[in-house]
């Protein structure tokens, strides 16, 4: 059991040395980023794991099953998934990594009010928190799950390495929950394998976007960073809703919050937006052709239009706006056909590219409601 005690100490030491005052801590000199690599190396230094505990048996199995070049990637990702959560600090200014069991203050909702109060993030008080022992059970289960999936699918090792090299967010890995609304959610019986058709499509698409050259490459990289990463995978700054959040992972906010989305929903949203981006008017033909050849985009796919103004969206206009941004102004935006605050989902069926005018006109209406309103206005104008 010594490895479990030492592992816990490493995990808690990293938090104590980096979290500072983010969650009500008393150490203003603590700073920096949580080093998952330090915890990973502590584990790997104990290979080939000859102990008799369940976790050591699982680690020994992984050591023998996983290719060496994949082992570190998997261990790092499972540490992140099993033990850690990235929460918004109490000033709603940024996020910090912490363990799921050490108590910390966060802004929490109170019944019947939009005014947040300081509450304690800890097991029993927040559905995302978990005891250290539960996290160990999750690590054990995910180690076995990865080994089983690798033995079932020989191509999975290459896919996981590719996902790591093309990741949108750190430690992006196909692990999710069976039921995102379960309370508590972070328990071993709720762990789910998430490798699906959307992420396989994205692995091909992300790779094709990487071959862009010259000014197109700069534009593509910026669109990926500011739109396909930030808008798809991370929350906006929010002081309303169940969770007070800023740039947190969408699947790590409270499940009842309007900005929550599962990892699978985020992949679905990215796939839709990427497909439609390739269909922008003026999208580089030397990039679109490989998408068509790989059957990621139909050869006769119609041009992408704003769902409100119906104008054809231009890649050149989008590229110019992201390469020469003006504060508070965005030529095209990622929107939702049915607003999240009214119960719309953050997934491929509901996300869309919009022009600035389309986004402004839509406001807090759905696209369908907006178009109905515009049609009524047009009819009245014609009648007058």
H/E stretch holding 121:
strand 113-121
* pLDDT confidence of residue 91: 85
Instruction: Compute φ and ψ for 353, nearest 5 degrees.
Output: -85, 140
* pLDDT score at 281: 98
**Chain segment 324-340, per-residue pLDDT in tens:** 887 666 789 999 999 99
Tell me the percentage of the chain whose pLDDT exceeds 70: 97
Whether the per-residue pLDDT at 41 is higher than 80: the answer is: yes
pLDDT value at 1 more than 60: no
For range 176-190, the mean pLDDT = 98
Can you read off the two tokens belonging to residue 116?
């947040």
Sign of torsion, CA 130 136 142 148?
A: negative
pLDDT for 82: 98
Residue 83 or residue 24, greater confidence:
83
Give the number of C-alpha atoms closer than 13 A to the C-alpha of residue 374, restricted to the C-beta side. Answer: 15
Percent of the chain that is helix, strand, coil (3-state, to 5): 50, 15, 40
pLDDT of residue 239: 79
Say if residue 245's pLDDT is above 70. yes
Contact predicate 12/99, CB 8 Å: yes
> How many angstroms separate the CA atoms of 45 and 100, rounded?
24
pLDDT (mean) for 16-35: 89
Can you give the pLDDT at residue 173?
Answer: 98
- Considering 14-28, 178-192, 239-253, the range whose residues carry the highest mean pLDDT is 178-192
Using alpha carbons, select from 117, 114, 115, 93 the residue that is nearest to residue 106. Answer: 117
Q: Which of 47-56, 303-312, 365-374 has the lowest mean pLDDT?
A: 47-56
Q: Around Cβ 2, how many Cβ atoms within 10 Å?
A: 9
Q: Look at residues 101, 95, 96 and name the one whose alpha carbon lies nearest to residue 19.
A: 96
Q: What percent of the chain has pLDDT over 90?
A: 84
Average pLDDT, the chain: 94
- Residue 115's pLDDT band, with cuts at 50, 70 and 90, is low
Going by the DSSP 8-state scheme, the letter that residue 95 receives in this structure is E
pLDDT band for 38, please (50, 70, 90 cuts).
very high
In degrees and rounded to multiples of 5, residue 252 shows phi and psi of: -110, 0
pLDDT mean over 57-70: 95
With a cut of 90, say whether residue 243 has pLDDT above it: no
pLDDT (average), residues 207-221: 92
Band the pLDDT of 113: cuts 50, 70, 90.
low
pLDDT on residue 99 = 98
């Amino acid at each position: 059991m010594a490895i479990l005690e030492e592992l816990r100490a490493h995990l808690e030491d990293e938090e104590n040395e980096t979290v500072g005052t983010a969650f009500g801590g008393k150490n203003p000199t603590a700073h920096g980023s949580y080093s998952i690599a330090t915890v990973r190396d502590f584990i790997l230094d104990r290979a080939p794991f000859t102990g008799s505990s369940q976790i050591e048996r699982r680690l020994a199995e992984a050591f023998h099953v996983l290719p060496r070049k994949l082992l570190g990637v998997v261990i790092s990702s499972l540490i992140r998934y099993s033990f850690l959560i990235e929460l918004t600090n109490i000033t709603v200014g940024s996020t910090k990594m912490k363990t799921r069991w050490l108590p910390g203050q966060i802004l929490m909702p109170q019944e019947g009010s939009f005014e947040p109060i300081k509450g304690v993030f800890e097991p029993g008080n927040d559905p995302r928190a978990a005891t250290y022992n539960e996290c160990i059970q999750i690590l054990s289960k995910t180690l076995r799950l990865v080994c089983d999936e690798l033995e079932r699918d020989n191509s999975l090792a290459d896919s996981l390495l590719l996902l790591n090299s093309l990741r949108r967010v750190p430690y992006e890995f196909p692990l999710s929950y069976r039921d995102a609304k379960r309370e508590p959610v972070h328990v071993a019986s709720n762990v789910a394998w998430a490798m699906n058709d959307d992420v396989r499509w994205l692995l091909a698409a992300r790779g094709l976007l990487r071959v862009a050259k010259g000014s197109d490459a700069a534009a593509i990289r910026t669109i990926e960073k500011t739109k396909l990463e930030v808008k798809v995978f991370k929350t906006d700054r929010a002081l309303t809703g169940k969770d007070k959040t800023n740039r947190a992972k969408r699947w790590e906010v409270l499940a009842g919050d309007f900005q929550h989305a599962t990892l699978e929903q985020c992949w679905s949203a990215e796939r839709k937006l990427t497909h439609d981006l390739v269909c922008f008017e003026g999208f580089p033909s030397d990039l679109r052709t490989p998408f068509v050849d790989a059957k990621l985009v139909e050869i006769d796919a119609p041009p992408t239009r704003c769902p409100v103004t119906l104008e054809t969206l231009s890649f050149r206009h989008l590229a110019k706006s992201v390469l020469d941004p003006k504060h508070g102004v965005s030529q095209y935006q990622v929107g939702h056909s049915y607003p999240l605050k009214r119960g719309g989902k953050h997934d491929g069926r509901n996300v869309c590219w919009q022009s600035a005018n389309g986004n402004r006109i839509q406001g807090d209406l759905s696209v369908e409601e907006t178009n109905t309103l515009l049609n009524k206005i047009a009819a009245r104008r014609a009648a007058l």
